[in-house]
Amino acid sequence: MLERPIIRLPRLNSALEGFRLVLMSDHHLFPYTPRELIERAVEQANALNPDLVLLGGDYIYTKVEAIHELAPVLGRLNAKYGVFAVLGNHDCWEGPEVVRAELAAHSIEVLVNRGVHLGPRGGRLYLAGLDSVWGGIPDPKRAFAGCRENDAALALVHEPDYFPTMVRSTPVQLQLSGHSHGGQVRIPAFGPVILPSWGQIFHTGLYELDGRLVYTGRGLGMVGMPVRFDCPPELTELTLTAAA
């Protein structure tokens, strides 16, 4: 399911008005998530003709070898300013070096506690990517070391509940995350049945804290059991606009 939230950021440079980002996360290829689902998501993402594609981590589930089949599919993604990724906890637990190398081999830049400037001239966007909170060693200050005062400051962080730390220690304006799967199984009028560590507070959709924003996508894949209920897979197109 395609979600298309509008993200309002204060002091957004006019050159970034309407800038569109696609977020994909939690692919978890095999055994419960078929390759065909991810291929369809890649085709849909490319059809959106986005400015930027962000991959939020957890490409694998229990077998690191799955990245050898997944990375060529993700390598088909196209965006005006490139495709960037971070690692998730499962990637870090099963083989982070293998995952990073395979993504890089297919022109996907993996950000581990570092940031990059990108976007149109005169409207620079700073994207910081953090190591997995649960499986790695995140260093937010290092990731934002190159951010300038007037940059639109974005962070790609697999685990959404790290957001309060980001707000306290960085100039982040918008954090993009996955990890929670939205609960994967949700009971109407009740919500998620089970949520993972670091994905229990900011678990689905858009939240605000002290004037900063975090968006958490439901992800594409499944873990634990091959079931989603009232919580379909998500591909997200976020459009940046200036706050009123």
> Where are the chain's structural domains?
2-242
Q: Cα–Cα distance between 72 and 152 in angstroms, integer?
A: 31
- What residues in the chain have per-residue pLDDT under 50? none
Q: Which of 131, 191, 50 is nearest to 24 (CA)?
A: 50
Please report the pLDDT score of residue 123 as a whole number: 82
What contacts 24+ positions apart, CB below 8 Å, involve 43-49? 44/2, 44/235, 45/77, 45/235, 46/76, 46/77, 46/78, 48/20, 48/22, 48/237, 49/80
**3-state secondary structure at position 20:** strand
pLDDT recorded at residue 56: 98
Which pLDDT value is given to residue 55? Answer: 99
Q: Using one digit for the tens of pLDDT, what is the confidence trace for 71-82?
A: 999 999 999 999
pLDDT single digits (tens) 107-154:
999 999 999 999 998 789 999 999 999 999 999 999 999 999 999 999
pTM recorded for the entire structure: 0.97
What's the pLDDT at 183? 97
The CATH number of 2-242, from 3.10.129.10, 3.90.209.20, 3.55.50.30, 3.60.21.10, is 3.60.21.10
pLDDT, position 173: 98
Residue 203 contacts residue 216 (beta carbons within 8 Å): yes
Q: Which 3-state string (H, E, C) describes 82-127?
A: CEEECCCHHHHHHCHHHHHHHHHCCCCEECCCEEEEECCCCCCEEE
Rounded distance between C-alpha atoms, residue 222 and residue 33, angstroms = 6
Task: Tell me phi and psi for residue 141, to 5 degrees.
Answer: -65, -40
Report how far residue 104's alpha carbon sits from residue 110's, in angstroms, rounded to the nearest whole number: 7
pLDDT of 122 reads 79
